[in-house]
């Protein structure tokens, strides 16, 4: 009678197996001309050009010169394709320098993710929270743990820090993308240009001026009166619009404020590295 009490590992779903390259044994014969990697790459190129709503099994098949049925031999459906895209879009994880401190490393890590979301805004429409982690996303996690290697925290608390920063990434990237998109649309309307005009053909200064957040302070000064908004009025009544004090790098400012909070927590926990 066997005394082995090792629990049996559950069978991995096909999508997870494909994420990690654990393919089922290939049939005999010549190597297939089409691969999962090619399909995912084509889907990402389509999303880059036309946005995520343009991605469908039929459109991807068309760009590759195949029938949709040919794709289904490699990817079960569109939902699985999106899961594969979630991992593929995260292929370029930053390498945290060996000599970087925890704060510098996490700053680099967080900024790189925000930049990735701004560069590929369709990424923010993917099921990022519910998708099973693939090798590329786990690589990002590995780099975050490398940044925190000198912190005296258990693994679950380091994961909690990663989760906190990841939530900030999604929120900040979405604000940047949506405000930029609104500014571009405003410039197109004001200029009478077709909606399909690429942003690269627009005046950068005009796009910057059309940002919906650009005139926020002026709007508050004008409309936030002492009757309905006494605290806003008190704050802005002493504010000098000609001498703004807000940081030029708003994205970096947000990251620094967040890391200030992380540092305060680490200090309370006695988890900061000995700098002596």
Nearest C-alpha neighbor of 89 from the set 112, 120, 114: 120
Domains of the chain: 14-22+31-88 (1.10.10.60), 102-214+260-269 (1.10.357.10)
Please give the Cα distance from 170 to 181 (Å, whole number).
16
pLDDT for 6 equals: 58
pLDDT for 263 equals: 98
3-class DSSP state for residue 243? coil
pLDDT for 213 equals: 84
Contact 167, 110 (CB under 8 A): no
Block mean pLDDT (10 aa), the chain, length 276: 59 81 62 87 96 96 96 93 94 94 98 95 90 92 98 97 96 94 93 90 92 82 90 84 69 96 97 77
pLDDT for 245 equals: 61
Q: How many C-alpha atoms does 268 have within 13 Å on its Cβ side? A: 6
Contact 93, 124 (CB under 8 A): no
Rounded to two decimals, the pTM is 0.86
Report the 10 Å Cβ neighbour count for 134. Answer: 21
pLDDT for 276 equals: 42
Please give the Cα distance from 61 to 254 (Å, whole number).
41
pLDDT for 219 equals: 85
User: In the structure encoding, which two tokens stand for residue 25, read together?
Assistant: 């044994």
Please give the Cα distance from 141 to 147 (Å, whole number).
10
């Amino acid at each position: 009678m066997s005394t082995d009490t090792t629990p049996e590992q559950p069978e991995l779903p096909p999508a997870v197996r494909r994420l990690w390259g654990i393919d089922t044994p290939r049939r005999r014969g010549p190597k297939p001309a089409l691969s999962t990697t090619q399909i995912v790459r084509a889907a990402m190129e389509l999303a880059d050009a036309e946005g995520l709503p343009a991605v469908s099994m039929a459109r991807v098949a068309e760009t590759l010169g195949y029938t949709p049925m040919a794709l289904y031999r490699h990817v079960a459906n569109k939902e699985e394709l999106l899961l594969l895209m979630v991992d593929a879009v995260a292929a370029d994880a930053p390498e945290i320098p060996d000599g970087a401190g925890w704060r510098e490393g996490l700053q680099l890590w967080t900024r790189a993710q925000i930049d990735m979301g701004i560069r590929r805004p369709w990424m923010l429409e993917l099921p990022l929270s519910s998708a099973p982690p693939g090798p590329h996303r786990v690589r990002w996690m590995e780099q975050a743990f490398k940044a925190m290697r000198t912190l005296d925290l258990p693994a679950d608390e380091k994961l909690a820090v990663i989760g906190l920063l990841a939530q900030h990434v999604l929120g900040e990237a979405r604000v940047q993308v949506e405000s930029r998109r609104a500014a571009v649309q405003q410039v197109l309307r004001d200029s009478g240009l077709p909606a399909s005009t690429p942003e690269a053909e627009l005046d950068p200064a005009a796009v910057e001026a059309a940002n919906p957040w650009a005139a926020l302070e002026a709007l508050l000064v004008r409309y936030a009166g002492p009757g309905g908004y006494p605290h806003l009025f008190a704050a802005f009544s002493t504010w000098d619009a000609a001498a703004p004090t807000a940081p030029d790098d708003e994205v970096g400012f947000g990251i620094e404020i967040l890391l200030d909070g992380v540092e305060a927590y680490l200090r309370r926990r006695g988890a900061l590295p000995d700098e002596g």
